[in-house]
Amino acid sequence: MSMIWFQNYSIEQINSILSQYMTGLLEIKATAIDSHSITATMPVNDKTRQPFGILHGGASVVLAESIGSIASNLIIDPDIYKGVGLEINANHLRPVATGLVTAVCTAVHIGKQTHIWDVRIADESGNLNCISRLTVAIIPK
């Protein structure tokens, strides 16, 4: 399978982006990039838990939308276009109270005006915690 990215990007370049903004506050970090997917992690801690002591569903959605949006922006020419979230849904399958969750983001559709991403979030034991689908609109800068 050929690479979907506009150019070769390193984990360091991706983490430089993630270290800023909300993703930095939630300690979201990219851990792998291959020819067609990006993997990122987020700790389950006091920043990401809801009052009942488990991972907040909104934090899972932030992880999914962030890694999917970055993926879209790595596909397009950054001098001409930008990718912005258009729609996201998430099914929360099981609670996670501690540790690290890992999101794997893969493309479902890469069109000229929209990208659709499948994001699967699992706990450290590999149990699926959340399935999310993100649609990103590709617009001129």
Domain ranges of the chain: 11-140
What is the token pair recorded at 87?
A: 């729609």
Given this model, what pLDDT does residue 1 score? 62
Residue 97 to residue 67: CA distance in whole angstroms: 22
Residue 114 to residue 134: CA distance in whole angstroms: 10
- The rounded mean pLDDT for the chain is 97
Span 8-43, pLDDT tens digits: 999 999 999 999 999 999 999 999 999 999 999 999
Q: Which residue among 27, 65, 87, 124 is the active-site one?
A: 65
Given this model, what pLDDT does residue 2 score? 82
| CB of 2 closer than 8 Å to CB of 68 | no
Given this model, what pLDDT does residue 16 score? 96
Q: What's the farthest any 2 CA atoms get from each other in the chain?
A: 44
Partners of residue 131 on adjacent β-strands: 91, 120
Say whether 65 is catalytic. yes
Backbone angles phi, psi at 12, to 5 degrees: -60, -40
Given this model, what pLDDT does residue 63 score? 99
Under CATH, to which class is 11-140 assigned?
A: alpha beta
Span 53-102, pLDDT tens digits: 999 999 999 999 999 999 999 999 999 999 999 999 999 999 999 999 99
% the chain with pLDDT above 90: 98
